[in-house]
Amino acid sequence: MDEKNLSLRLERVANYVKKNDRLADIGSDHAYLPSALVLNQTIKYAIAGEVVDGPYQSAKSHVAELGFEKQIDVRFGDGLDVVELEDNITAISICGMGGSLIASILDKGFKAGKLSGKERLLLQPNVGEYTLRKWLVEHDYQIVAEDLLEENHKMYEIMIAKKSEQPVEASEADLQFGFLLKKDPTPMFKKKWQTELQKNKYIQESLLQSKSDQTDKLRNVKETIQEIEELLQK
């Protein structure tokens, strides 16, 4: 992968970046996403934030190789610490991490006053979508778009969120399956949840064979199986 050949996952996220957005890409590794967007002239300015020295150095040298130092400001720091309100960021992307890590980055940034409420959040959790949606809803972020893709035999969700002026409400099913994804279930969505159903049935089998008391875990897994079966029947 590089800025000319993004992974399908990052390419899909890139589709949600608007012309002349001022992007903050948090956890930017080689800065591939902002570099691709500068290269195809979608954006003129981005911050690439990294908290680990190796990926930070890779991002810095990659941006220098491309001659994009004026357009992409590579900053070292934890999560949204690298962003100032004066940067006038209009979109924040956080991709390729677990949903709970993304939620904790947003939470820390929210508490530190790093979110103006005007920026769109472009989020691509690898796992833990429920936790991330719950954080968004509890902080009145409305999910305005959701996407699902498969790459290298793995499914990835993308969610785009905007701060709402009204309180945002969600059912457990919205949080688990995605507000919009479940409204308009594609064959890929059904495939994802068929796979999850099989995984949960396998877990149930293992729990039933366990010699120790697994009552609570069994109750949870049964509930999940029932919810997925109901979803797939619709």
User: Shortest gap between Cβ of 93 and ligand SAM (angstroms)?
Assistant: 7
- Nearer to ligand SAM among residue 9 and residue 133 (C-beta): 9
For 29, residues 6+ apart whose C-beta sits below 8 A from its C-beta are 50, 55, 58, 59, 96
User: Shortest gap between Cβ of 12 and ligand SAM (angstroms)?
Assistant: 11
The closest alpha carbon to 63, from 86, 89, 92, 33, belongs to 33
- Among 11, 44, 51, 139, which residue sits at the site for ligand SAM (rule: CB under 6 A)? 51
Token couple for 34: 């902002």
Please tell me the count of residues contacting ligand SAM according to CB under 6 A.
16
The answer to whether 145 and 16 have CB atoms below 8 angstroms apart is yes
Q: How many CB atoms lie within 10 A of CB 176?
A: 19
| Residue with token string 């981005």 | 46
Measure the CA–CA gap between 157 and 115, rounded to whole angstroms: 23
Can you name the residues that pair with 124 across neighbouring β-strands?
95
User: Shortest gap between Cβ of 232 and ligand SAM (angstroms)?
Assistant: 29
Report if residue 29 touches ligand SAM, rule: CB under 6 A: yes
Residue type at position 213: D
Q: How many CB atoms lie within 10 A of CB 16?
A: 20
Report if residue 46 touches ligand SAM, rule: CB under 6 A: no
Stretch that binds ligand SAM, among 46-54, 115-123, 197-205, 218-226 (CB under 6 A): 46-54
Mapped onto helix, strand or coil, the DSSP state of residue 136 is helix
The closest alpha carbon to 160, from 109, 93, 98, belongs to 93
Report if residue 34 touches ligand SAM, rule: CB under 6 A: no
User: Shortest gap between Cβ of 101 and ligand SAM (angstroms)?
Assistant: 6
Binding-residue pattern over the window 57 to 96 for ligand SAM, x denoting contact by CB under 6 A: ---------------------xx---------------xx
**Of residues 95-154, those binding ligand SAM (CB under 6 A):** 95-97, 105
User: Shortest gap between Cβ of 109 and ligand SAM (angstroms)?
Assistant: 10
- Nearer to ligand SAM among residue 39 and residue 203 (C-beta): 39
Sort strands 141-151 and 120-125 into parallel, antiparallel or unpaired.
Answer: unpaired
User: Shortest gap between Cβ of 76 and ligand SAM (angstroms)?
Assistant: 9
Binding site for ligand SAM (CB under 6 A): 10, 26-29, 49-52, 55, 78-79, 95-97, 105
